[in-house]
Structure 1
Amino acid sequence: METPATPAQPDPHPAVEVGLSAAIVSMADGSPRVLIAPRRAGEPDGLPLGPFDPLHHRTFEMGLRSFVGEQTGLSLGYVEQLYTFGDRGRHRAHADEAPHVVSVGYLALTRPEPDENETISATGSRWRPFYHYLPWEDWREGRPSVIDATILPALRRFSPQPNPGRARAGSWTERLTLAFGNGTTGWDEERALDRYEMLYEAGLVEEAARDGRAMPQSIEPLGAPMRFDHRRILATAIARLRAKLKYRPVVFELLEPEFTLGQLQRTAEAIAGRPVHKQNFRRFVETTGLVEPTGGVSAATGGRPAALFRFRPEVTRERPSPGIRFGRG
């Protein structure tokens, strides 16, 4: 007699899928921009993302490069893994039983190509300014007014509730000082992620309201929202890129092979989000052997022709930290 099949028992462990998300950064007219994936009408902007397929992708990076090429027609250059983002709620609606998605975030840098905009536009992707999503991070024209007018008063009014599962070092006031500075500590551009997370924790960005936190209605919108936790991934990418700028020659991944010192300076300023002292910057770049003259000149500067330079790859063997360090402008 055949034994009846035992009814399938529900899996006590919720299903988890691995996704890949990419903050792809490029430059245009001296301003940083990030690639936004195709979206349906009414959806917020989002980064390119796709599932990791272990049957076809030997590594996460190979999977990332594959789906980015399929979605956008873009061939990535420099790629670096950022972090694994798996907070509950990032891809799930209330009472949704679909698998939870854990996303491995990446930073990717690419140089503009002549037909790039046409190719990307045909796929429904588009480039958007970096600081469209995190406007308080752009200090190139001075301290953004939104910090003192809106952000700091709202953060000072907020009283965080104890959360043992999300413990933070230091008090809220100490975190606020470290993230936004004061009369003695100053602004640290590398704390971009800390600032976004404080705004989220205080319910001051739209993503917090979408995830079930109350957002005060009395403040103006703080930058454009993004899908899921993509603005957090973007803030992580900005923080990593700003830090890396100082000890690795990643800035040259965003420039043409030949460039003027003015173009190099504007690119560094755009990524750091703040101005630099022109003479000190050029003296540092020239004396540390980061670049060498090509012998050519560019007439596209609008004034006198400017000398063209190129990156010296030998500098990575000559110096332990061949990045760009500069004083404040």
Structure 2
Amino acid sequence: MDHQGKPTRQLKSGGKRGNNVNADLIAVVVAMNNSVPCVLTIPQANALPSGPFELAHRSLQSGLRGWVEQQTGHPLGYIEQLYTFADRDRIGAEERVISISYLALTQAEDLGAAAKRCWASWYDYFPWEDHRSGAPTAVLEDLRPRLREWAGSADDTAVRLDRQRRAAVAFGFDDRSWNEEFALQRYELLYEAALVEEAVRVGPSAAPTAVPSKSMIADHRRILATAIARLRSKIKYRPVVFELMPPLFTLLQLQQTVEALSGRLINKPNFRRLIEQQELVEKTGETTTETGGRPAQLYRFRHDILDERPVAGTKLPLMRA
């Protein structure tokens, strides 16, 4: 699929005429800009950077890096394979597309460089995911009654009860706990209930039933939800959050980054105690006054921790509402 959402590379599978498969590479590039988790997009198509996997590409990763840099001018650093999407009819009834997606983490750009690219807050696409100030209005006043109506519309009792249970688990209804790692399940539930534009899109306009949020072409928003769920889970057992941090940072900046990614508040004393116990960072002996108030100690990530403890993570002490 090119950056306009059109499959361009065909893999012949043999058999009946027209039985071809298109393959493309899609990147979810994440950075922190002013304490906001942002994703790199292609504004003309409201899409993630993507391009076909071609015979000339040395590997999947090299092909992906080439397409992202060509389309956005942004070179990639840390990347990991995310998921392969190959569902029937995910692009259209007349074609089959295999999309190999990757999660890429990069550090924030300066204002001049960032202005040349299209970075968008991932909460623009998933406004129900940000719980740092409590459950957002989108959940309490909009999503809940619509999901209840959808669940109750099933004729079969078993289906109706299953829908109610899934909505409660995904969104923390009926006194259940909110789980920040269920980002993909929440989006897929809203898609099933036809409450996102992608599920009910006819032409370029949004359906009146869609929950207010930014949409993307094809299933790019589903791919983004997959990346959010992966990253929220992974920062708890691998120190990948430091791929998003500048070389020097304060503990408050580190905490705010983790909170922004998870969409949840973190207990400050517990967070600092765990960071110190796991020896993930070390003091530089320098301070900064950019945070306001007293000079704050600057820290750096201890890269040798990866050799000492391959599974080192942050084990986040997330606040529970």
Say whether the 8 Å CA contact 2:196–2:210 is kept in structure 1: no
Rg comparison, structure with higher value: 1
- Could you tell me which residue of structure 1 aligns to residue 69 of structure 2? 69
- Could you tell me which residue of structure 1 aligns to residue 275 of structure 2? 285
- Could you tell me which residue of structure 2 aligns to residue 311 of structure 1? 301
| Displacement of 1:216 | 7.0
Q: Which moved more, 1:306-315 or 1:231-240?
A: 306-315
- Could you tell me which residue of structure 1 aligns to residue 51 of structure 2? 50
Q: Which moved more, 1:109-118 or 1:60-69?
A: 109-118
- Could you tell me which residue of structure 2 aligns to residue 112 of structure 1? 108
Q: Which moved more, 1:83-92 or 1:196-205?
A: 83-92
Matches of 1:87 and 1:222, distance apart in 2: 26
Matches of 1:274 and 1:149, distance apart in 2: 20
Structure 1 residue 174 corresponds to structure 2 residue 165: yes
Change (3 A) 1:206 1:305: same
Structure 1 residue 268 corresponds to structure 2 residue 269: no
Say whether the 8 Å CA contact 1:292–1:310 is kept in structure 2: yes
Q: Larger relative CO (CA 8 A, sep 6+): 1 or 2?
A: 1
Say whether the 8 Å CA contact 1:136–1:147 is kept in structure 2: yes
Say whether the 8 Å CA contact 1:150–1:220 is kept in structure 2: no
| Displacement of 1:78 | 1.1
TM-score, normalization by structure 2:
0.86
| Displacement of 1:74 | 0.7
Count of residues in correspondence between the two structures: 298
Matches of 2:29 and 2:35, distance apart in 1: 16
Change (3 A) 1:211 1:21: farther
1:276-300, CA deviations, whole angstroms, 9 ceiling, x for partnerless residues?
1111111111121010001111121
| Displacement of 1:157 | 1.6
1:117-149, CA deviations, whole angstroms, 9 ceiling, x for partnerless residues?
25xx2xxx4001110000000011111111121
Matches of 1:183 and 1:196, distance apart in 2: 19
Matches of 1:64 and 1:320, distance apart in 2: 27
1:49-108, CA deviations, whole angstroms, 9 ceiling, x for partnerless residues?
10001x21122111100111111111111111111112333333x6xx5x4322111111
Say whether the 8 Å CA contact 1:74–1:116 is kept in structure 2: no
Identity over aligned pairs, percent? 48
Matches of 1:272 and 1:10, distance apart in 2: 47
1:223-274, CA deviations, whole angstroms, 9 ceiling, x for partnerless residues?
1111110110000000000000000001000001111101100100000011
| Displacement of 1:171 | 2.1
Amino acid at match of 2:81: Q
Matches of 1:282 and 1:271, distance apart in 2: 17
| Displacement of 1:222 | 3.1
Matches of 2:82 and 2:255, distance apart in 1: 25
Structure 1 residue 78 corresponds to structure 2 residue 74: no
Change (3 A) 1:75 1:197: same
Structure 1 residue 246 corresponds to structure 2 residue 236: yes
Q: Which moved more, 1:179-188 or 1:265-274?
A: 179-188
- Could you tell me which residue of structure 2 aligns to residue 28 of structure 1? 33
Say whether the 8 Å CA contact 1:259–1:308 is kept in structure 2: yes
1:146 is aligned, of 126, 138, 144, to 138
Say whether the 8 Å CA contact 1:26–1:254 is kept in structure 2: yes
- Could you tell me which residue of structure 2 aligns to residue 3 of structure 1? none
Matches of 1:195 and 1:69, distance apart in 2: 31
- Could you tell me which residue of structure 1 aligns to residue 190 of structure 2? 199
Say whether the 8 Å CA contact 1:26–1:112 is kept in structure 2: yes
Matches of 1:303 and 1:204, distance apart in 2: 45
Matches of 1:142 and 1:230, distance apart in 2: 27
